[in-house]
Structure 1
Amino acid sequence: MDYQQSFAVSAAGMSLERMRVDISTLNLANANTVIGSGGATFQPMRLVPYAHTPLAAASVTAGESTFTSMIERTLSAPQARVEPSLAPVRRAYEPGHPYADAQGFVSYPGVDTATEMMTMMSATRAYEANVAAMTMARTMAMKALEIGGKQ
């Protein structure tokens, strides 16, 4: 059994979850950034994973393992892309604010703090699951080496 594939799968999962945490952190850090009169300011972002199509039976050659080819194809392609969120701008009534418009409203990026916190929590849990999977694969590999060395 090739343990490098299981390590690579866990590493790819950890990388993806780290990106989710980084993006949520960036969104939360800029949640109260004021949108000035020019309109150019922080745009909330989100991580969009690429959808992988199932491996067609016709593309599998006689000596090729379906699971192995799916793993190699998945790990060779980018896992996700970062794109701007389409959340509407949040407006708050603050007439004394220097960036208030004529009606007294100040515009902030459309960051939902509850959603971002839930994203961070779920990404952290998924990261921990990938660490546990990698640790278990390492333990099994070490045990296999130990058993094989006693012969």
Structure 2
Amino acid sequence: MSLFSIFNVAGSGMAAQSLRLNTVASNLANADSVASTPEAAYRAREPLFAAMQGQPGSGNAAGEGVQVLGLSESQSAIPSRYEPGNPLADADGNVYASNVNPVDELVNMISASRSYQNNVEVMNTTKQLMVKTLDLGK
């Protein structure tokens, strides 16, 4: 693996963690939303990642970065609350809340933030190594 491909790997990791942070922000923004039916209630989302494989025949079996496969929605139960005064209440007086767990989202936010920081450190270290290598030629 060349030093230049390290930038590609770390950059794809940073892009993936940025998407993860945006998804967490979206989930937290909708954590207290309610709807009139369980189908209309907001469901927590989470990005799906996969390792990108190197080119066939390149001799590099290690992954070449991260690719985003898409977003998945949580299949956990949608909680209902009895709020007959709510304008979104159904005929029985129930409203349906999102299935976002704020504690899980905060853990995801911390994890994504740390992963992003680690990728930044990888890029900075690689840059420093390249500069030191160039300084050897002076």
- Partner of residue 115, structure 1: 104
Residues 49 and 70 in structure 2, CA contact (< 8 A), matched pair in contact too: yes
Partners of 2:25 and 2:76 in 1: CA distance: 17
TM-score by length of 2: 0.83
Partners of 1:104 and 1:18 in 2: CA distance: 39
CA shift in 2, pair 1:60/1:78, >3 Å: closer
Partners of 1:51 and 1:86 in 2: CA distance: 25
Alignment of 1:136 onto 2:130:
no
Matches within 5 A, 1:54-69: 61=57, 64-67=58-61
CA shift in 2, pair 1:91/1:113, >3 Å: same
Q: What value does the CA root-mean-square deviation take over the aligned residues?
A: 2.6
Structure number with larger C-alpha Rg: 1
Q: Deviations over 1:105-141 (max 9, x none)?
A: 2101111111111101110011001101110000000
- Partner of residue 22, structure 1: 22
Query: In structure 1, what residue type is equivalent to 2:7?
Result: F
Unaligned runs of 5+ in 1: none
Matches within 5 A, 1:29-68: 29-37=29-37, 39-50=39-50, 61=57, 64-67=58-61
* Structure in which a larger fraction of residues adopt strand: 2
Residues 87 and 111 in structure 1, CA contact (< 8 A), matched pair in contact too: no
Q: Deviations over 1:25-83 (max 9, x none)?
A: 10111112221259435332111222668x8xxx974xx4325xx34xx44x8333212
Higher RCO (C-alpha 8 Å, min separation 6): 1
Q: Sequence identity of aligned pairs in percent?
A: 28
TM-score by length of 1: 0.77
Aligned with 2:7: secondary structure? helix
CA shift in 2, pair 1:135/1:109, >3 Å: same
Residues 94 and 104 in structure 1, CA contact (< 8 A), matched pair in contact too: yes
Partners of 1:39 and 1:131 in 2: CA distance: 40
Unaligned runs of 5+ in 2: none
Aligned residues: 138
